[in-house]
Each structure stands twice: as C-alpha cells, then as structure tokens.
Chains A and B, each alone.
Chain A
C-alpha cells in the first residue's frame, strides 16, 4: 500500500479542524500524520479492532507519539518520520488482521470440507444401499417369475399329457363302439347311434337282453371319456301320435341313461332327452327308413376349451 493511496485522504482531512495543540493551530499537519490518523480511525471501525487488538494498540501508541511530536514540533523531520512509521504500523495491524482472518477462514473451510465430504460419503452410502436393495428386490422378483414360469410350464405339460391321454382313450372308445354302433363326429360332439330295434321291444321302453352287452360297451367307452358330458337322446318314427312318441322317446332315453349310470357313468354328467318323431334321419315312408328313425343317440359333448 503506497503513500500515494493516502493523498486523497490527506487532502480531505487537512481541511478539518482537528484536535491539535495551540502551537499547531495555524500549522498544517504533515500528510503522513493525517493519513495515519485516518487509517487508524478506519481500522478501529473495522474488524481489525477485534481480530488484531494488540497490533492496533501498538499502532495507537505509535500514532500518539506522532501526535505528541506534532504538538511539540509540528514542522520537524522527526514528526514527519514517526508519523510515517505510525501510518505503517496501522497498515501493518490491518494486514496482520487480514492474515489472521484468512487463516481462520482457511481452517474453517478445512473443517467444513471434512464435514461436507462426510455428508457426501453418507449420501453415497445411502445411494449404494438403495441400489443394493433395488437389486435384491429385482433378483427376488426374477426368482418368483422363474418359479411361476416353471410351475406354469409343468402345468402346461400336465394338461398336454392329460389331453393326449383323453384323446387316446377317446380313440380307443370310438374304435370299440364302431363295432356295435354307428359313430359319427359332429359339431356337437361324438354321436353314438344305436338302433331302437336292438335295444327295445316295439312300443316298449324295457331293454332287451341282447341290448345289455352293447350298452356295457358304451358305458365302458363313456367312462374312458372322463371330463365330458353326455346326452342320451331318444327318437321314434312317425307312426302314432305326437304325444305317445314323445313319451316313448323320453322313457327310452331315460332307461338307457339309468342303465349307463348303473354301469358306472357319473349321473352328474349324463342326462336324457326325448325328441319323439322330430329330427328324422331317414324317410318314414319305408320300413327301412322308419327303422333307422327309431333310435337312441348318445352324444359325447365336446369339452369346453380350458382358458
């Protein structure tokens, strides 16, 4: 900090009526003394007074000596020189205060840096922990998905095996049935048609003795068709009244149903329906056609596709 910096302060302060002794009332103080006074005042009002009180006190002693010398010998070189020294002492006190403040700031920054680094480390550990937890949850989810997939695959295999078994059994049953009855695959399912003449006496609903072995074969086939529902449908020819034919076809269907249930077919899966002379499959004008129309059809219904 050069003396030139103090020239403006010197000019301003030189106009002020300072508290000077009588001997210097008419003598202008040297610029060094004016600058020292101004600088001291400024330093006293700043943080220097708090940070470096000892340095400022030393500067004050130096300034007091300069003021005293000015009172005694205002124009002397000595007064000028010790005023210069006083100014430097004040400036030194300010610089030392700055050094002390900078040291404190630097030390505080070091502490803050350590604390901030610890916070950053803790945050990093938290993020790491969160990531680990997410990874663990992801792994668990993956494991559950794998297990579910495996179970699903096993179920699928079991269903596939069951379906193959059912198809094989149905094929076997169909093959056996073709020996005793007409077997057709229709939209509603597999239809086993038995002629009424081999099952019943004309106009009756009691089973003939020869009919039983045939129905035993049918019962065996139905038992193999596990999981399917069955309908026993009775039909007549057009001879006779509507009501009589309806009643006869219903009784015959029920008789067949009851026999099949006796032979082990689940009663919950089989029902009987009479259709009378409706739905003929041949002309009723000929004896052969009427014989074909007198029949019992056993429908093995298609299974509902599993979802």
Chain B
C-alpha cells in the first residue's frame, strides 16, 4: 500500500479506489484479529494485498499511458511538419 501511495495512487481515481479498499479491508482484518477470528482476517488481508498490488499497477499505468500517447502525438506532429517543409 505504501508503494502505491508513493507512486501517486491518490491522483489516479481507479488506483485511489483500490487503495481505499485495501485500507478498509486491512482495518477489518485488524478488528477480526482482535476478536480472535484469524482465518477470516487472513483472507481479508489476502484481498487487501491483491487490491494494493492492483492500486500500484493502476497508479503506474495511468500517467505512463498518457506519456506514451503524448510522445506518439509529438512524433506524428514532427513527421507532419517534415512532410510540409520537405525541400
């Protein structure tokens, strides 16, 4: 979860939602542990871990896809300009 937060998950809506789910389920697991329900707590932590991993990936994916699109657009613009200014 910390990795996802550091990656900027809070700024990517889909990643932020997964991160919140991970936090919520972690809190529930802590409560279950206090109540002695270790098996159920383990399963919730398993879910939380999956959510956190997905949050991290989504936090990376959003900006990276936007960067790649910008780079491609920039190249297309350059190629178009080359075509127009061809001697």
Contact = CB atoms under 8 A, between A and B. Distances in A.
Contacts, number: 91
B67 A102 contact: yes
Contact of B51 (A88, A106, A127): A88
Interface string A98-128: 1101110110011011001101100100110
Contacts of B60: 95, 99
Interface stretch (A77-85, A178-186, A191-199, A220-228): A77-85
Given A88-B53, A92-B50, A98 B71 contact: no
A96 interface: yes
- How would you classify the secondary structure of chain B's contact residues: helix, strand, loop or mixed? helix
Contact of B57 (A78, A99, A113, A123): A99
B68 A123 contact: no
Interface of chain A: mostly helix, strand, loop or mixed: helix
B82 A119 contact: yes
Interface residues of B, number: 32
B79 to A, nearest CB: 5
Nearest to A62: B50
Contacts of B81: 120
A85 B50 contact: yes
Nearest to B75: A112
B40 interface: yes
Given A91-B54, A92-B53, A96-B57, A105 B47 contact: no
Given A95-B57, A95-B61, A103-B64, A81 B72 contact: no
A288 to B, nearest CB: 91
A126 B25 CA distance: 65
A47 interface: no
Nearest to A105: B68
B44 to A, nearest CB: 7
Interface in A51-110: 77-78, 81-82, 84-85, 88-89, 91-92, 95-96, 98-99, 101-103, 105-106, 109-110
A210 interface: no
A89 B52 CA distance: 11
A16 interface: no
B33 interface: no
Nearest to A80: B43
Contacts of A101: 68
Interface of A: 1-2, 77-78, 81-82, 84-85, 88-89, 91-92, 95-96, 98-99, 101-103, 105-106, 109-110, 112-113, 116-117, 119-120, 123, 126-127, 130
13 contacts: A91-B54, A92-B50, A92-B57, A95-B58, A99-B57, A102-B68, A105-B72, A106-B64, A106-B68, A109-B68, A109-B71, A123-B86, A126-B87
Interface of B: 14, 17-18, 40, 43-44, 46-47, 50-51, 53-54, 57-58, 60-61, 64-65, 67-69, 71-72, 74-75, 78-79, 81-82, 85-87
